[in-house]
Amino acid sequence: MLASYLGAFSTASGSVSERVYLDAFAGEGSGRDRGSGEEFDGSARIALDAGEGAGFTRFRYFEMGPKAAELETRLRTDYPGKDIKVYEGDCNQMIPVALAELSDLKWAPTFAFLDPDGMELEWRTLEALAAHKRGYRSSASAKPEYKVEMWMLFPSSGLIRTLALDEGKVRNEDFERATRLFGTDEWRPIYERRLANQFSGEQAREEYVNLMRWRLERALRYEAAHAFEVRNSRGPIYHMIFATDNKAGTKIMSSIYNKAAARLPEMQEEARNRAAGQSTFDFGDSVLAANEGYHYEPPWEPPADE
């Protein structure tokens, strides 16, 4: 899906001289399929390969510790001549540094991929991304000003686990982490309703996803925030949330999602075949939720304190 979207993003942004790709949780450049053992490209390489020669021109990655330098060496070796930089450290601190260095390119179409392991993403990072391109058009221009487009992995199931039903087991730092993720403690009314059993786990998960979409649209002023559920055989594991100001972005991503969701039965069959012979019946792989077809629905007003 990322490869398809980045290709389409390059085409849709027309004949511009620069396009910027930001990858906040860059990883190692490749991964290994748990079922088949086959190596596949990670987001870092997918972005470098996107657009068939007319893709992104600046690549800015963020990784922790020694993995950062390793990734930079590997990518620069494999993609000589590309403008690649890997920032070492917490992306929530380093993204503003990178954006300041890119301030001359505010006008350039810019895409950010945010793929944390869990709840490491912070709202202040989304805020910094949304603010980055502000003012790139003159005030006399009638054209709309597009913000950085972003696609994030939202830890909807991680939130349900972290904000557990047994309140005594939740550490203060978990509450603080939820507040850092949402940039507000407006998640609390959802959690309180879950504790009072007014919301099922499933409803609470949907409400957390909705709250994030609501804030992307209302607080950061994105035109549309779309959520796609990703699940495995045991249920939903996370949501991908895509925020855009561009109708073309909405159209292209919805179509990619629908195509991927249509492949769901085939993917499940492949996973089932791989799982055959294993003692537990767990597909292992994550697949998209079997939606009849994705349609944008605006987020609803999140619950407030009673």
Which residues are paired to 62 by β-bridges? 87
Sole binder of ligand SAM in the list 50, 51, 115, 156 (CB under 6 A): 115
Asked whether position 285 contacts ligand SAM by CB under 6 A, the answer is no
Q: Per rule CB under 6 A, is residue 27 in the interface with ligand SAM?
A: yes
Among 120, 206, 207, 229, binds ligand SAM (CB under 6 A): 120
Asked if residue 158 binds ligand SAM (CB under 6 A), the reply is no
149 is a site residue for ligand SAM (CB under 6 A): no
Distance set, CA 206 to CA 27, 216, 232, 254 (Å): 28, 15, 17, 19
Q: Which is nearer to ligand SAM, 59 or 214 (CB)?
A: 59
Which token pair is 9?
């993003």
Q: Which residue, 116 or 299, is less far from ligand SAM as judged by CB?
A: 116
Q: How far is the C-alpha of 215 from the C-alpha of 184, rounded, in Å?
A: 10
DSSP letters for 221-240: --SEEEEEEEEETTEEEEEE
Cβ neighbours of residue 154 closer than 8 Å, sequence gap 6 or more: 209, 212, 227, 238, 239, 240, 241
Pick the closest to residue 47 from 13, 82, 73 (CA basis): 82
Is residue 144 at the binding interface for ligand SAM, with CB under 6 A as the rule?
A: no
Pairwise CA distance, residues 299 & 271, whole Å = 33
Give the CB-nearest residue to ligand SAM: 42
Whole-number Å distance between alpha carbons of 267 and 265: 5
Q: What is the closest distance, in whole angstroms, from the C-beta atom of residue 87 to ligand SAM in the complex?
A: 8
For residue 85, state whether it binds ligand SAM (rule: CB under 6 A).
no
Q: Which residue lies nearer to ligand SAM by CB, 97 or 195?
A: 97
CB distance 24 to 121 below 8 Å: yes
The least CB distance from residue 26 to ligand SAM, in Å, is 6
> Which residue, 42 or 109, is less far from ligand SAM as judged by CB?
42
Q: What SS3 class is residue 117?
A: coil
Among the listed ranges 9-17, 88-96, 190-198, 285-293, the one in contact with ligand SAM (CB under 6 A) is 88-96
97 binds ligand SAM (CB under 6 A): no
8 Å CB contact between 138 and 149: no
Per CB under 6 A, which of residues 42..71 are in contact with ligand SAM? 42-43, 62-64, 67
Give contact residues for ligand SAM (rule: CB under 6 A): 25, 27, 31, 42-43, 62-64, 67, 90-92, 115-117, 120
